[in-house]
A and B are shown apart, each in its own frame.
Chain A
Amino acid sequence: MNSGQPGSRAPRPILVTLATIALVVGACGPAAPAASSPTSSATPTPVTVTPVPVETTDTGLTADGKVLIRWFVGLGTGAQPDQIADEQKVVSDFNASQDKIVLSLEIYQNTTAYDILSTQIAAGTAPDIIGPVGFRGFYSYGDQLLDLTPYIAKNNVDLSDMDPAILAAYKEGFGGQVGIPFAIYPSFLYYNKDLFDEAGLPYPPHKVGDKYDGKDWNWDTLTELAKKLTVDKAGNDATASAFDKSNIEQWGYYMQWTDPRGWGTQRGAGSVVADDGKTAQIPDNWVRAWQWYYDAMWKDHFVPTGTENRAEYLGPDNAFQSGHIAMDFVHLWYTCCAWPADGKPAVPNWDIAVPPADGTTTTAKLHADTFGIMKSTKHPDEAFQVLTYLLNNDTLIARYGALPAVKSKQAAFFANLDTRFAPNKVDWQVALDMLGHPDVPSHEADMPNFLKADAAIKAFQEKLITTEGLDIAAEAATLKATLQGLFDEVN
């Protein structure tokens, strides 16, 4: 026979309350976020962290008196398994090459890298070097970066072979030359040749101005083409009356790993910030681009929705590589991921083509990556030595799929890619041609209250890819009002 309750005493409210407080506070600690996120110029990977050698003093020295330089990867590309192996080799090669500096590599998942770096800065444990990182990262940490001007002069670094516009982009608004161009990534259409062959359709044009099947290569033509390349499980394409939108097996078009600012540039460059630097705006051409892309998801069904993109058959979060996407408008850095790390590629036959024109204008959004040195570094000279080593490292250039900013290195870069993707042959001239059609201003340009404005745009994106029946003009107006509120917080 049992008694009513063990102990048969009421818990003491105060003690239990105190314990509850401890529970509350204990559970309020930062949890370990995970999972993937399609972000601009970033690819999702498991968290990988290389242990940092223990410093013996607060002067940034290792136990044996060498200068410790910490290299932080994760703000952009650089965390794919294949890339990690090469990065580790680059680090070990550097460490073997001399006896004064120890280079330490730290790699973080892109979705948490920004949070971790902010926390490290606050804790006084910021790394020495960050990168590769695009303009988004530079805008997030611009005032934390070291002006490299005196180190460039001191080390006689030759900048004459670099694009002056990109060089200037790392100076304007930063209060100094905080970056040296490392890599540029034009964008274009990756297309799966097997899916075109299966449908008996000609490949998209490789030159700006060329026609497609006798028609102007514009967004209407792409729409019709993408519908024909969108197929349900019964084999009906999206132009057929029997097409089943709830059982799609293959989609005609996609814009992988970008946000609505990237979507907007399909129809030309623009900015959500007016020329005065503090007024929110939504360019008309972007609203048109968003309406078109939204209809492509929910009305014409040739672009996967958010739910479809997260489905197993398009995953894990690398839609084109799944073999179920016919055309993917993405940057050169996607060469990182168009081929699997192991095993047989699902898309062995692919090539690249020019994006359609909007009217007479073709726009291919451009990304650029580089490395930066944090102002807090205790050893700026040694950090700059490592920086120049990384900037000139051909292994990293090749593995990041990064077109070298140094023009004389570009031919060798493409030859390297040809070797990697052989026997598949890719028309790299398309990539070079697209450098002539950049988005100016950049879709990654700075915004007032950047982090919150960027989050608001991503929330807008999440709504569009998961919600049917939206009025895009009204949603754009709401976004504009939201952005204005965020801009006003800092103006």
Chain B
Amino acid sequence: MSTSSPGFVVPTTLVHPGRVRGGLARREEIWGYVFISPWIIGFALFTFLPMAAAAVFSLTDFDLRRPDDIRFIGLANYERLLTDPVVAQSIGVTLRFIAITVPLNLVVALGLALLLNSPRVAGKPLLRTLFYMPIQIPLVAATLIWAGVLNGSSGWVNTILGVIGINGPDWIGDSSWVLVTLALIGVWSVGNMMLIFVAGLQGVPSELYDAARVDGAGTWRTFRSVTLPLITPILFYNLLISLVTSFQTFIQAFVLKNGVPDAATNLFNLNLYRQAFSFNQMGYASGLAWVLFAVILGVTVILFWSSRRWVYYAAER
């Protein structure tokens, strides 16, 4: 069937696109769900349900050793964590750690990416591989290696510093240094962030650099006025991921301190773990987990809100 019109014939499919395209869309929709169903099922089973369970647990007095004695206590766990000095301490430690590690990771990753994007550097594929390789090493193993390298008595770092006349600090034992140490260990695995920056840098139109050069811009001015604005989406992404992972840091502190953190290393996630699995207070720990989740969600929302002011998307202009 067709609809007549002066001068030409319009196929029905164009007049009633919804009907025909609806069938296609439905098929595509079904196949789409088929293809993403493994993720949806995995998300439901291993993420959503545990989250929901943790939400319920957070309203109970649940001792891991006595699962039959679980009791509903309303918001008591949340009231308790508001006055728990250990929670306040762990929040302080976590914020200090974030203040050190997030800028450090971003600067180092961006610096390496700029280096590897420079036309003057030879062997870039090899260097990219080398900088990325630490990602492949399990974090526990990497932390144990760094514990040896940074040992204040026999570590290579202090041995080398000693050769040049510097008395190195006790990187792990000294409470004023240990967060820096944790941050440095984190820097070792910025390869992933670096690669994302490299991809972003390669996406900057070369004619903008040519124009900047013609206008007499130097290296710093070009970086500040051309490169940096155009990679702000990448910077935003890396900042977000770095913040989230920093809030969740656990393994390095746990391994370095043999599971017994001091006041300087009791990160929020480590305190959460100890409450759940060392002190068996699963209900209270679930409350802490939801607080952590809410904080990270809040930070994420703020970041997205602020991104309107400083993240540049070319297609929106």
Contacts and interface: CB of A to CB of B under 8 A. Distances in A.
Nearest to A450: B279
Nearest to A31: B251
Interface residues on A, range: 35 or more
B74 interface: no
Given A33-B254, A35-B140, A37-B260, A121 B67 contact: yes
A459 B175 CA distance: 13
A141 B65 contact: yes
A4 B50 CA distance: 40
A25 interface: yes
A3 B244 contact: no
A32 B273 CA distance: 11
Contacts of B47: 22, 25-26
B300 A2 contact: no
A323 interface: no
Contacts of B293: 21, 24-25, 28
Interface stretch (A72-80, A223-231, A309-317): A309-317
A30 interface: yes
B280 A312 contact: no
Contacts of A8: 313-315
B240 A20 contact: yes
Interface string A90-125: 000000000000000000000110110011011110
A17 B302 CA distance: 11
A153 interface: no
Contacts, number: 181
Interface stretch (A204-212, A214-222, A440-448, A461-469): A461-469
Interface of A: 1-11, 13, 16-17, 20-28, 30-38, 111-112, 114-115, 118-119, 121-124, 141, 143-144, 246, 305-308, 310-313, 451-452, 455, 458-459, 461-463, 465-467
Given A24-B248, A33-B251, A306-B173, A9 B315 contact: yes
A58 to B, nearest CB: 15
B67 A35 contact: no
26 contacts: A1-B207, A2-B205, A4-B205, A4-B314, A5-B233, A5-B313, A5-B315, A8-B315, A9-B313, A17-B300, A20-B297, A24-B293, A28-B248, A33-B254, A35-B144, A114-B278, A115-B278, A119-B64, A119-B277, A121-B65, A122-B64, A305-B173, A310-B147, A311-B153, A452-B279, A462-B257
Given A6-B203, A17-B297, A122 B65 contact: yes
Interface in B262-317: 262-263, 269, 273-274, 276-280, 282, 289, 292-293, 296-297, 300-301, 304, 311, 313-316
B205 A3 contact: yes
B230 interface: yes
B206 interface: yes
Contact of B170 (A1, A21, A458, A466): A466
A11 B316 CA distance: 12
B260 A455 contact: yes
Interface in B184-222: 202-207
Contacts of B260: 37, 455, 458-459, 461-462
Contacts of B277: 30, 115, 118-119
A1 B203 CA distance: 9
Contact of A111 (B244, B251, B259, B276): B259
Contacts of B67: 121-124
Contacts of B172: 307, 310, 466
A114 B269 CA distance: 19
A476 B65 CA distance: 31
A307 B170 contact: yes
Q: Which of A20, A26, A313 has the most CB of B within 10 A?
A: A20
Contacts of B72: none
A123 B140 CA distance: 26
B173 A2 contact: no
A13 B233 CA distance: 13
Between B155, B170, B173, B276, the greatest number of chain A beta carbons within 10 A of the residue's beta carbon is seen for B173
Interface in B242-262: 244-245, 248, 250-251, 254-255, 257-262
A34 B255 contact: yes
Contacts of A11: 233, 237
B51 interface: yes
B154 interface: yes
A463 B262 contact: yes
B151, B153, B251, B276 — which one has the most chain A CB atoms within 10 A of its CB?
B153
From A5, A22, A33, residue with most partner B Cβ within 10 Å: A5
Contact of A118 (B64, B250, B315): B64
A467 B154 contact: no
B151 A35 contact: no
Given A17-B304, A141-B65, 5 more contacts: A10-B313, A25-B293, A34-B255, A35-B143, A455-B278
Given A21-B297, A463-B262, A28 B314 contact: no
B64 A13 contact: no
Given A31-B250, A307-B153, A311-B153, A2 B313 contact: no
Contacts of B257: 462
Nearest to B308: A10
Interface in B161-177: 167, 170, 172-175
Contacts of B315: 4-5, 7-10
Nearest to B85: A485
Contacts of A144: 65
Given A28-B269, A111-B259, A5 B64 contact: no
Contacts of B154: 311-313
Contact of B151 (A24, A38, A310): A310
A157 B170 CA distance: 55
Nearest to A114: B278
A25 B289 CA distance: 9
Contact of B262 (A9, A114, A462): A462
Contacts of A465: 173
A37 B259 contact: yes
Given A20-B244, A141-B65, A1 B254 contact: no
B179 to A, nearest CB: 14
B282 to A, nearest CB: 7
Interface string B25-61: 0000000000000000001001100110000000000
Contacts of A313: 154
B111 interface: no
A34 B205 CA distance: 47
5 nearest A-B pairs in the assembled complex, by CB-CB distance: A4-B314, A8-B315, A466-B173, A311-B154, A115-B277
B315 to A, nearest CB: 3
B278 A451 contact: yes
B301 A17 contact: yes
